[in-house]
Amino acid sequence: MDIPQSVIEMYEKLCNNISNQSNNEVSVIPSVEQVLNDSVENAEHEEDNSDNNVIYDISDMYGNTDQNQDNNNHENNEQNNSNEHYETTDNTLQTVQTRTNTQSKLIKIDQINIDIDFPWKLHAIVSCKHPKRTFSNLNGEGEISTFDLVDNTSAINLIAFNLDSYIMSNKLIEGQSYEFDGLSIRSVDDLYKKLPHEFQLMVNKTTTVREITMSFNYELTYNFINLNRIETLPLNSIIDVEVTVLRDYGITAGITNGNSWVRREIHAAQDGVHIKLTLWNEQAKTIPKSIIQKTLKIKNIKVDFFNGSRTLVTMANTRIAII
């Protein structure tokens, strides 16, 4: 490769300038040979004075003390980062170990409240699967599934949204018992209640469900409320009643907002107190046509208000027995 003449002239000029400097002056740019020689001498000197802990660095020959400080800081930072990494790892291991050692405590439905501050799990039977519902809001469309869970103490609703709704609706079977772990607890407005329990359970990303066998055999039980107390109960209360049918107004069907419905209105009474019952959808269709003077035992019916008076309306989990 040919070297340009201008480069050769520049190199010669530089060499001449260096040779003309005074012997007492220190060269600005030491030669490679000088650097290497000094390094060997420094190393030998360091070995000779190892007892005095004198350390020499070849970079000192260039006066790079700032660079040395930066290097030291960099090494210290790396060490600190390394220590932090190990500390973080230790913390992670401790957290994992704690979670592994923490066993969820088995509780009953009547013990469920928002003050629980420990991991818990629940054994319950799915007594009812409500029809899946869809909703629309500012975030888009979604779906919600609702289930009734019962044990030998009480009953409570379990709800699941969107993907959880899809998974649970395909997993949970009515009449089967399950262990639920990692559920959330939330309060619920009386307007949306399907059961008397003050709270609802909600599926989340930490929830696990497995099928189990329970010694408890679920049987429908009633806690009857007399009709003479209806006027004093809060609206949306969920109660059990036993009434006699005085008149049946028949079945009406229709479609509202794209949803079809079936309604059946009944005039009932108990101990001289009269009230209107509205049976919706499945309850309206499954009851026989002739129920005049029949006694109905109804579980989970909601207190409503229509046209200036209290009424009773059925829900998906309402159970009606004819006697």
Which residues in the chain belong to E strands, given as ranges? 105-107, 120-129, 133-137, 140-150, 155-161, 177-181, 184-187, 199-202, 208-212, 238-256, 259-270, 273-280, 295-306, 309-322
**158: CB partners within 8 A, 6+ apart:** 146, 147, 148, 149, 168, 180, 183, 200, 201, 202, 203
Longest dimension (CA), the chain: 131
244, 235 contact by CB (below 8 A): no
**CATH topology agreement for domains 105-212 and 227-322:** yes
- Give domain 227-322's CATH number out of 3.90.78.10, 3.30.1320.10, 2.40.50.140, 2.60.40.1180: 2.40.50.140
Q: Stretch 208-222: mean pLDDT, rounded?
A: 92
pTM for this entry: 0.66
pLDDT of residue 203: 97
| Residue-range domain boundaries for the chain | 105-212, 227-322
Q: Give the residue carrying structure tokens 């207190």.
A: 303
State pLDDT tens for residues 3-37. Answer: 555 555 665 555 555 444 444 443 444 444 444 44
pLDDT of residue 46: 45
The more confident residue out of 17 and 97 is 17
Output the average pLDDT for the chain: 78
**251: CB partners within 8 A, 6+ apart:** 262, 263, 264, 284, 285
**Predicted confidence band of residue 139 (pLDDT cuts 50, 70, 90):** confident
pLDDT of residue 321: 93
Range in 194-203, 249-258, 298-307 with the lowest mean pLDDT: 249-258
The more confident residue out of 313 and 24 is 313
pLDDT of residue 13: 57
State pLDDT tens for residues 37-65. Answer: 444 444 444 444 444 343 333 334 334 44
pLDDT of residue 3: 54
* 231 φ, ψ (degrees, to nearest 5): -65, -20
pLDDT of residue 90: 40
Q: Stretch 119-124: mean pLDDT, rounded?
A: 97
CATH T-level assignment (fold) for domain 105-212 = OB fold (Dihydrolipoamide Acetyltransferase, E2P) (2.40.50)
pLDDT of residue 228: 95
